[in-house]
Amino acid sequence: MQFKLGCELSYTLTAPSTFIFNIGVAQNTRQQVLDETLSITPTIEMEEYVVPETATRFLRVNPAAGDLHIRYNALVELSHVWADPLDIPETPTTTLPLQVVPYLFPSRYCQSDRLMNLAQAEFGDLLPGYSRVTAICNWIYDNVAYLSGSTNQHTSAYDTAVERAGVCRDFAHLAIAFCRALGTPARFVSGYAYQLNPPDFHAFFEAYLGDRWYLFDATRLVPMAGLVRIGTGKDAADVSFATIFGTIEMTKMQVFIDRLQPPETSEAPSDQAVSTA
C-alpha cells in the first residue's frame, strides 16, 4: 500500500533559533521510504539523528532570524502484518522481551502508576490479549469526548481519566496508561494518517502483544491501514513534530497524504489486527 505524503511548515524567527523536527517517516522493514525530499528555505545545514530502537528521526537546523520554510515529501510503501485478533495473546511478564519492559513504566503523560485501580476495575476481569486492548479503545471511545481545543500540551492521562474530553494525543495517552497499568507494554506513535479530516499530524499507539507491536487508535477517525509512522516513544513528550529553542511564530502548517493506485487485492478485512513494527 503506497502513500504520498508530507508537510509544509513556515515560521518567522525574531532571532537565531534551533529547531529539532520530527516529521520524516520512520524506515523499517514494514515501512519503506521509496522516495523522499526535504527542502528548507533559506538553504541551511541540516543534521539528522535516527534513534536506534525506534527509527524515530530527529532533524536539527539552526536558522538565522527571518523566515523559515520547510517542505517534506515522501513516497512510502507499507507492508502491513495482518493477524487475526483472536490469535493474538497477551505476552506474560515472565517471557516479555526485556527491551520492551520500559514501555510498562509510567511516563510524563501516561501516569499508569496512578491508574492501577481504575484499570483493574474496568478491564481487570477481561481476558488479556488483543481483545482487552480493543476493549480499552472502545471504553475510551465511549467515555471520552473528542473535542478540539478541550485540552492543551500539559494535559495527561490522569486528567483525561477524570475530565473525559480530549484530542487524539489524549486518547492515545489514556489508552497507553491503561495498558501499562494492566501489564501490557504500550507506546505512543505520531504519524501521517490517510483520510484524517481536516488533515493534520495524528497520534495513535501500539501495544506489545504476542511477539510484536500492534497498532491501535481509540479515536476511530481513520482506517488503521493508512497510519504512517513518524515517531515512536513513551508518549507525546518524546515525539513532538517540532522542538523549538527560540522565539518564533508559526505562520503556516499543512499536512497532506494521498494514497497511490489503491490495489484492491491488498485490502485486509477491517477486523484484522495491524502491525507495522
Residues in contact with a copy of itself by the rule CB under 8 A:
18, 20, 47-49, 51-52, 58, 60, 62, 92-94, 97-99, 101-102, 104-108, 110-111, 113-115, 117-118, 121, 143, 145, 153-154, 158, 161-165, 183, 234, 237-238, 240, 243, 245
- The neighbouring-strand residues paired with 227 are 193
Q: Minimum distance between the CB of residue 107 and a copy of itself, rounded to whole angstroms?
A: 5
Looking at the chain, the number of H-run helices and the number of E-run strands are: 4, 16
Residue 166 CB, nearest distance to a copy of itself (Å)?
A: 10
Minimum distance from residue 263 beta carbon to a copy of itself (Å): 37
Per DSSP, which regions of 22-138 are E strands?
31-41, 47-50, 57-61, 66-78, 81-83
29 or 99, CB closer to a copy of itself? 99
Q: Cβ of residue 237: shortest distance to a copy of itself, in angstroms? A: 4
For residues 262 and 240, give the distance between their C-alpha atoms in angstroms, rounded to a whole number: 30
Q: Residue 42, preceding bond cis, omega within 30 degrees?
A: yes
Pick 31 or 155: Cβ nearer a copy of itself: 155
Cell of 158: 490522569
3-class DSSP assignment, residue 122 = helix
Instruction: Determine the 3-state secondary structure of 28 from DSSP.
Output: strand
Smallest distance from a copy of itself to CB 134, Å: 20
Question: By C-beta, is 107 or 276 nearer to a copy of itself?
Answer: 107
Nearer to a copy of itself, 47 or 77 (CB): 47
Cβ proximity to a copy of itself: between 51 and 253 the closer is 51
Q: Provide the angle, in degrees to the nearest 10, between the axes of the packed helices 116-123 and 130-143.
A: 100
